[in-house]
Amino acid sequence: MADGDLHASDVGSHHAVAALRKALGDFAALPDGAAYGMSGRYYVDESYFTHEKRTLLSQGWHCVGRADELPNVGDYRALTLLDEPLIIIHTKEGIRALSNVCRHRGMPVAEGCGNARLFVCSYHAWSYRIDGALQLAPRMENAGFDPKSCALPSFACVERFGFVYVSLSETPSDLDQDLDGLYKKLQPYDPTTFRVVHSAEEIWNTNWKSLVENFMEGYHLSVVHKITLHGYTPTELSKKGPTGPGYTSYTAHYPDHIPSRGQGAAGLNVAQKHASFLFSVFPCQVVSISPSLLVSLSLMPVSAGRVDVRWTMSVYGDDLTEDTIKERIALWSEVNREDREKLERMQNALGSRHATSGPLAGADYEGTVKDFLNWIAQEDSRYL
């Protein structure tokens, strides 16, 4: 395949990026029944990562958590998304995303999480209201200083399904259009009413795309998760779900002898109660939802070989006892550990010149990987 022919000296160069982009278009053009994945360089090349960061990652919508993590006005969490320091804050007008960079000389004005009435910069004590407006700049004497022009800038921020999404773009895509079809799938679960019971932050030394692909394919379930998942979501019961302009999905059905795991919302049918539905909101969120449990991983890519992951677990109403919730947290922590261990070992091997393009399994097992590749190729084609 074309991108397997790159010379080592090309790695990190403009030529390598151009060759990978060309290969992406070629691979997306392959029919779904004869799909191939990209070569290792797509996952390890830092120049290509820089290109992704400038383009589809900066343009895309990123899940930054659940709305119910910030229940009260003033509740906030600081985070860094693609080198951009942000404050996600519950204002009187709803949840907003502000720049976490002081307008004086650039200090971050907030740290960690908590509840604030004002953000006071730790450097020279400029203070900002929670809507970002500058409240006070002590001892400032400067004829050109206009406090009104010194508000913290804001970013596009919306809530969907109880998740908070942020885009760094000034002209983000229409998220509702991107997710066309997904609403109908999720509505019966009543996703906005789930409540967070656990969150964790982890560093995964892998490429962000590998993590999306791994979470979204059922092919590895019975191999990697033999003890943890195989008993109730075996590979052979994976079924491809709908894909749309900005997402893909599959359903992991439970074997007949496994009882439903919780009741969930009233609108769910028997089949939905007997399966987990997994979806990815491109580029960086992967989710598993079942009647009583919602697990979401927000991926924050840092380099070609590192992605910071924040994951949350939410439950439906009082479906699960405290003990069951503890068990589910332990189970998912172990499942994530199993995936991370595999992906980190694979990341090392993907640097090999022998990590060339390989064939993908059929639609039910790896069709979602092809959907993701198609989406990246489509997005990438919009940039010169």
Q: Which is nearer to ligand FES, 11 or 120 (CB)?
A: 120
Helices (H) and strands (E) in the chain, counts: 11, 17
For ligand FES, which stretch binds (CB under 6 A), given 3-11, 121-129, 316-324, 364-372?
Answer: 121-129
Question: How far is the C-alpha of 1 from the C-alpha of 38, rounded, in Å?
Answer: 9
Q: Does 119 bind ligand FES (CB under 6 A)?
A: no
**Residues 331-360 interacting with Fe ion (rule: CB under 5 A):** 339
Instruction: Give the interface segment with ligand FES, choosing from 16-24, 81-89, 98-106, 307-315 (CB under 6 A).
Output: 98-106
Report the sign of the C-alpha dihedral through residues 225, 227, 228, 231, in that order.
Answer: positive
Choice between 102 and 320, CB closer to ligand FES:
102
Residue 364 touches Fe ion, criterion: CB under 5 A = no
| Three-class HEC string of 270-301 | HHHHCEEEEEEECCCEEEEEECCEEEEEEEEE
Binder of residue 102, out of ligand FES, Fe ion, none (CB less than 5 to 8 A by kind): ligand FES
* Contact call for residues 68 and 75 (beta carbons, < 8 A): no
First vs last Cα of the chain: how many Å apart? 23
Site for ligand FES (CB under 6 A): which residue of 42, 61, 126, 316?
126
**H/E run at residue 96:** strand 94-99
Distances (CA, A) of 266 to 163, 270, 296: 21, 11, 22
Cα 122 to chain center, whole Å?
Answer: 31
Nearest distance in Å: CB 108, ligand FES: 9
Q: Which residue among 15, 104, 198, 239 contacts ligand FES (CB under 6 A)?
A: 104
Contact partner at residue 129 from ligand FES, Fe ion, none, CB < 5 to 8 Å by partner kind: none
The CA angle 155-160-162, to the nearest 5 degrees, is 110
Told to check if 129 binds ligand FES by CB under 6 A, we report no
Taking CB under 6 A as the criterion, the residue among 7, 14, 22, 105 binding ligand FES is 105
Cα diameter, the chain: 76
Residue number with CB closer to Fe ion (102 or 294): 294
From 16, 89, 102, 307, residue interacting with ligand FES (rule: CB under 6 A): 102
Positions touching ligand FES (CB under 6 A) are: 102, 104-107, 121, 123-124, 126
Positions touching Fe ion (CB under 5 A) are: 339
